[in-house]
A and B are shown apart, each in its own frame.
Chain A
Amino acid sequence: MRLYVPLGITFIAGIIMILEFFVPHDPFPTLGGHVKDWYTIVASSAIFLGILNLLRVHLKKINLRSRNWQYSPVTIIGFLGMFGTGVAFGFTEGPFFFMFNEFVVPMGATMFSLLAFFVASAAFRAFRASNWRASLLLASAFLVMLGRVPIGDLIWRLIPGAAESAHPNLVTEIGEWIMRVPNMGGQRAILIGAAMGVVATSLRMIFGIERSYLGGTD
């Protein structure tokens, strides 16, 4: 039962979605609409499951005084504070909106901004011209880095005659060419390969060959 019911649901939903794409006549668009609505409902329910799990994990951590348990009350208080003010005063104004703008946004932006420091440190230690391929990558990285900021063209224009030449923004143009030609070719190959993989995996799941999404049940 635990095996065949999910396999059956996956098969029916998958076949409906495929038929809806290729046969734009009723009943398939209507059935496809119902499947999509159900997907949204199930996905929304998963958010509530996630919330319950978050609370359970952190309450357990506090209870057992696990490692770094001191952070758990902060998480729970933060969650309950945002949830309570949102329900009581609305999400588009009032305390929820204030806390979102003044706490959540700066903290989120700060965490992501830390990446710049680690990227700089990692680039210094790992970006080595150890062979011709690495040197090629390094040269194109330099050109793209300079091409993505205005100072690249300003440096180029320091060369006598460059500012009056046919290409006063040569560094930006080279950076854009790298993105548009070699990068696009490589990205397209990756996209096509990934898309074929998605089609193959989807078909395997619809026909019950691939079952890992069931949680290891064989």
Chain B
Amino acid sequence: MADFWKRLGEIDRRIIFVLIALAVLVPLALKLAFPIPVGKGPSKDFFDSVDSLPPESVVLMSFDYDPSTKPELHPMAIAIVQHLMSTDVNLVAMALWPQGASLAQEILVEISDSLGREQYHDWVNLGYKTGGLVLIARLGSSMKAAFPTDLSETPYGQIPMLDGIQRLCDFDMIITLSAGDPGIPHWVMVASDQLGVPVGGGCTAVSAPQFYPYLQRRVGERPQMEGLLGGLRGAADYEALLRRKYAQAPPGTAIAGMAAQSVAHLVIMVFIVLGNLSYLALRKRKEGQR
């Protein structure tokens, strides 16, 4: 029996890898779908703040991530752009991460084509600029100084939808999808805290806990962040809320991904339980020998 517990605690990691792979692949292949209950919480708060923007509002959306975090952040980016373009909100995209600009372009072109939106009238991609926190501070005083042209080299002054957009204060909301540094904390520090522009956004699941202090709402005060989408669950919440309100919204990939994530979490938990059973049994045996 002791050998059994010892062997259980020393399972070859390749077995774990195979089971995790199956836990992800099988639900995706079988197209399993679990209902997504979205109650009160940061995802709902964020959706409500975006949904309450009147038509012709202008939103700045910063794609602060790269391909490595695309599986978590891209689904929420797609759902948010879909939402904004469906409700006639004008969208200015930019990136604090070099590859974010290209990821944004892919979404913007695809969704604007499907909804009949026009570049430079309904949306524009200003591209990537280095500088992080300092760049955000500069945007607070002059957008044009930081972005003299957009991603396609069109001068700022020749873009009709940017008439009247001089600085960050001219935006109705700022949305940041952040995979790390620079990202959410920097937008909160400058745009929300200093300039008073509503900021909301999304991040990877692993970094979500550190942004919860920005969500606290005190009576009579605006929170530092309007809401937060944490990882794939946040994206799935947003997709579910979008489809609940706008039945014509196309299905996203996050809800489908939640089944795979659910099973993967269960498999990891089972392994943790097995590891602890082995540990406790061996410890008990050791104590008995003493």
Q: A97 at interface (Cβ–Cβ under 8 A)?
A: yes
Q: Which residue of A lies closest to B101 (CB)?
A: A91
Q: Which of B52-60, B83-91, B242-250, B256-264 is found at the contact surface with chain A?
A: B256-264
Give chain A's interface secondary structure class. Answer: helix
Asked whether A108 and B67 contact (CB < 8 A) given A44-B130, A120-B267, the answer is yes
Tally inter-chain residue pairs, CB-CB below 8 A. 169
Asked whether A91 and B151 contact (CB < 8 A) given A36-B138, A169-B37, the answer is yes
Q: Do residues A191 and B152 form an inter-chain contact, with CB atoms below 8 A?
A: no
Asked whether A188 and B213 contact (CB < 8 A) given A36-B137, A108-B67, the answer is yes
Mask of B39-83 contacts with A, CB within 8 angstroms, 1/0: 101000000000000000000000000111111000000000000
Q: Do residues B37 and A123 form an inter-chain contact, with CB atoms below 8 A?
A: no
Query: CA of A191 to CA of B189 in the docked complex: distance in angstroms?
Result: 12
Query: CA of A183 to CA of B215 in the docked complex: distance in angstroms?
Result: 12
Q: Do residues B212 and A184 form an inter-chain contact, with CB atoms below 8 A?
A: yes
* Residues on the B chain within 8 Å of A44, using CB: 130
Q: B287 at interface (Cβ–Cβ under 8 A)?
A: no
Query: CA of A116 to CA of B268 in the docked complex: distance in angstroms?
Result: 10
Partner pick for A148 among B37, B205, B271, CB 8 A cutoff = B205
Asked whether A184 and B68 contact (CB < 8 A) given A100-B99, A104-B99, the answer is no
Q: Do residues B269 and A169 form an inter-chain contact, with CB atoms below 8 A?
A: no
Q: Do residues A124 and B68 form an inter-chain contact, with CB atoms below 8 A?
A: no
Asked whether A146 and B279 contact (CB < 8 A) given A33-B141, A153-B37, the answer is no
Q: A209 at interface (Cβ–Cβ under 8 A)?
A: no
**Which range holds the interface residue count of chain B?**
35 or more
Query: CA of A6 to CA of B23 in the docked complex: distance in angstroms?
Result: 55
Q: Quote the shortest CB–CB distance from B268 to chain A (angstroms).
A: 5
Asked whether A47 and B99 contact (CB < 8 A) given A120-B16, A124-B275, the answer is no
Q: Which residue of A lies closest to B255 (CB)?
A: A150
Query: CA of A123 to CA of B231 in the docked complex: distance in angstroms?
Result: 20
8 Å CB contacts to A: which residues of B19-51?
20-21, 24, 34-37, 39, 41
Asked whether A172 and B264 contact (CB < 8 A) given A112-B68, A149-B233, A150-B258, the answer is no
Q: Do residues A125 and B67 form an inter-chain contact, with CB atoms below 8 A?
A: no
Q: Quote the shortest CB–CB distance from B54 to chain A (angstroms).
A: 30
Q: B284 at interface (Cβ–Cβ under 8 A)?
A: no
Q: Quote the shortest CB–CB distance from B127 to chain A (angstroms).
A: 8
Partner pick for A40 among B13, B138, B262, B265, CB 8 A cutoff = B138
Partner pick for B68 among A33, A108, A169, A180, CB 8 A cutoff = A108
**Which range holds the interface residue count of chain A?**
35 or more
Q: Do residues B269 and A145 form an inter-chain contact, with CB atoms below 8 A?
A: yes
Q: Which residue of B lies closest to A190 (CB)?
A: B210
Q: A214 at interface (Cβ–Cβ under 8 A)?
A: no
Q: A105 at interface (Cβ–Cβ under 8 A)?
A: yes
* Residues on the A chain within 8 Å of B276, using CB: 127-129, 138
Query: CA of A146 to CA of B265 in the docked complex: distance in angstroms?
Result: 7
Partner pick for B134 among A39, A145, A180, CB 8 A cutoff = A39
Asked whether A113 and B71 contact (CB < 8 A) given A120-B16, A150-B35, the answer is yes
* Residues on the B chain within 8 Å of A145, using CB: 265, 268-269
Q: Do residues A37 and B130 form an inter-chain contact, with CB atoms below 8 A?
A: no
Mask of B107-134 contacts with A, CB within 8 angstroms, 1/0: 0000000000000000001000111001
* Residues on the A chain within 8 Å of B99, using CB: 100, 104, 108
* Residues on the B chain within 8 Å of A90, using CB: 152
| 25 pairs, A vs B, C-beta closer than 8 Å | A36-B137, A37-B145, A40-B135, A46-B130, A91-B151, A92-B151, A97-B102, A97-B105, A107-B67, A108-B67, A108-B70, A109-B67, A116-B20, A117-B17, A120-B271, A121-B13, A124-B268, A127-B272, A128-B276, A129-B276, A148-B230, A149-B265, A150-B37, A169-B37, A183-B209
Would you list the 5 A-B pairs with minimal beta carbon distance, nearest first?
A108-B67, A151-B262, A112-B68, A150-B34, A149-B262
